[in-house]
Structures are given as structure tokens and as C-alpha cells.
Amino acid sequence: MPAAAPLLAEGGARFAGGAENQVLMLARELARRGHRVGIVAFGGGGGVPLRARVDGVDVVELTPPRTRIPLVRTLAFYARTFRVLRANPAGVIVQRAAGIHTALVAAAARLLRTRFVFASAGLHDFDFASWESRRWIVALYERAVRSADRVVVQSLEQAALCRRRFGREPLVIASIAEPAAPQTGTPGAFLWVGRLDEHKRPQAYLDLARTLPEARFRMVAVAGELDAADIPNLELLGPRPRAELAPLFADAVAIVSTSRSEGVPNVFLEAWARGVPALALAHDPDGAIERERLGGFAGGSPERLAELARELWETRGDRAELATRCREHVTRVHDAGPVADRWSEALGLGGV
């Protein structure tokens, strides 16, 4: 997981995406059980150095090539990655999320005569061609997934896509949600956390804040610029480590997702673990929000999103039953113990 480097750097965790946080949480749980686990991540590129171990997990540093010549850089990167994997032999190699790394890791695993497991990180992994313009990378990626020893997905929705796209029967393993203290008191603001890109549709959240001037909104915006000076009830915050997000979740009326699609967002799990509902504009993973009554789903309608938000704002001081449902769902579906059991099966790990 090359992009996990911010979580593995000296000086403590920095901001990283949901897929990277999931990989580290799973690795820690497997290490706690006595298995030897390592994460391969970018390092040595002039930034903060990586730690050797994090919570019992070995950190394997992969130094990016210095050259910027496209083809030369790709070949150098492939060669370095293979050398790193060969120097750190493993019984199984897991690669998560669609990308240029997938085919490389699959090929390396075959050459090293070890098992290769591909793990999805979201719906975009089943429509890679829509956001990767290099057709050769798409073709190699799809071939790698089809040839994997095991494919792991996060949800039934992803399982169906995997069957259609790759002709593979995957193993469905829920994402991990770590325990958190339940929310206390009356929450103060809606919360949106994510990257400022078109897929996440941050503008829809700004529109929601404008529609509900009586409510308060917070937005943790990553990697981009946003003009929200005309929205007095919106507090715009910069990126921060996961630990520093905890007080924001603890004071959230709801965690809001305006994305076109998601996997199983970490922000939902962080919220539900505290008894905080989710409010989604366009995507409800496996229909859990509606089926389990874990917040509100607008079905793509901004008007419905505003209605649901207004209701959550007006009832924010009296929602004990909603909070209990959210916390019980996390315990039942996303507890680290059962999730790690399923991963142990996927990886072919024996007892400790």
C-alpha cells in the first residue's frame, strides 16, 4: 500500500485515505494475533522518514525513482518494487485498490511463487477504465485481478460487480471500525470529510449549508481549494490526522457524504461507532443506511438531502435510539475480531 506512508512516518500519523487506514488497522489486528505482517509504502523521497515498525507491523520502505521521464520512471519503479518484494519474502502478498501496482504485484507474486490477493477499496475498482486513460494499464490490471489467488471485496454490491466484471467469485469481508466513546451532549454541526475532487462533489455540501442557514456545518477539505466565504454557517477546516478528527466526529449532527459512489466509507464507520448517523446524497453502501435506519439517504435528490438534514438538525438533542442502532450495527458487522477472522481465512493463515 504505497500511499500508506503518511500513517507510517516518524512523528506520528498524518492524514491518509480510508483504504490506507483500513490496511493499517487490519495489519495491526493480525500482528496482535501473532502473525508477522509488513506494509510496503513509499519513503525516502525527501519527506519525513518512515518508522521501522508501527504497532507490531513491519514497515517496508519503497523509494520512488528520481527520474521524471514517464517510461523510464515506470520501469525503474517496477524494478525497485520487485527487488523490495524479493528481499522481504512473504507467504501471501495483498494489494489493495485498482492501479498501476496491481499487475506488478501479481507478476511479482507469480515469479516469487507466493500467493496474490487483490482487495477492492471501492466501486471505482470495477470501472477502472473510466478514470485511467492508459489502456495498457487497464488491460494489465484486469488480467491481474482475474488471475489472483483470491479476490476480497467490502460489500455485496461490490461482489456483484466483481462477478460481472471479472468473472470471479469474491470473498466479502466488511471493513473494520475501531471502538470509540459514544457521543454525549447535543451535537453542534454537520461534518463532511474528504478530498476536493469532482467525484466527492463538495459543492453539493456547500449548497446544503446555504439551504439550511439555521444549522451549522463543518468541512475538512483535503487537496484543493474551495471558496466558501459567502456561507457564514460553514466552518472550513484543513486536513488533519485521524486522531485529530475524533473531536469533530464527537460533535457531529451527522457525517455527510455527497460522493457519486463509495466503497464503505471510513467516515461512516467512525461516525456509527460513536452513535452518529450518516447522511448520504447519492450512494448507500449495500442499502445499510435505509435498511438498518442509520441516518438518511437522499437517493440523489438535493431537495431530499436538505429535508433529511433539517430533520436531523431539529432532533439532534433527542436521538438515543438512533445512536444505539448505529453502535450496534458497527459491533455486529464491523468489529475487528470477526473481520480479522475472515481475513485470516482469505490469507490462508493458520493458528498462532
Residue pLDDT, tens place only, 37-84: 999 998 855 456 899 999 999 999 998 888 888 888 888 888 999 999
Q: What is the pLDDT of residue 44?
A: 57
Read off the pLDDT band of 352 (50, 70, 90): very low
Q: What is the pLDDT of residue 77?
A: 85
Residue 16 confidence (pLDDT) above 80 = no
pLDDT digits (tens, 9 = 90+) for 93-143: 999 999 988 999 999 999 999 999 999 999 999 999 998 998 999 999 999
pLDDT digits (tens, 9 = 90+) for 268-295: 999 999 999 999 999 999 999 999 999 9
Q: In 3-state terms, what secondary structure has residue 251?
A: coil
Task: Decide: 339 and 28 in contact? Cβ < 8 Å.
Answer: no
CATH code of the domain in which 71 resides: 3.40.50.2000
Q: What is the pLDDT of residue 3?
A: 86
Task: Decide: 184 and 192 in contact? Cβ < 8 Å.
Answer: no
Is 119 part of any domain? yes
Distance CA 178, CA 194 (A): 19
- Give the total residue count for the chain: 352
129 and 217: one domain? no
List Cβ neighbours of 9 (8 Å cut-off, separation of 6 or more): 47, 48, 49, 50, 51
How many domains does the structure of the chain reveal? 2
Is 182 part of any domain? no
Sign of CA dihedral 86, 88, 91, 92: negative
**Mean pLDDT of the residues in the chain:** 92
Domain hosting 300: range is 189-333
Is 352 part of any domain? no
221 and 148: one domain? no
51 and 135: one domain? yes
339 and 328: one domain? no
Is 259 part of any domain? yes
When pLDDT is averaged across residues 299-323 and rounded to a whole number, the result is: 97
Q: Model's pTM, two decimal places?
A: 0.90
222 and 252: one domain? yes
15 and 120: one domain? yes
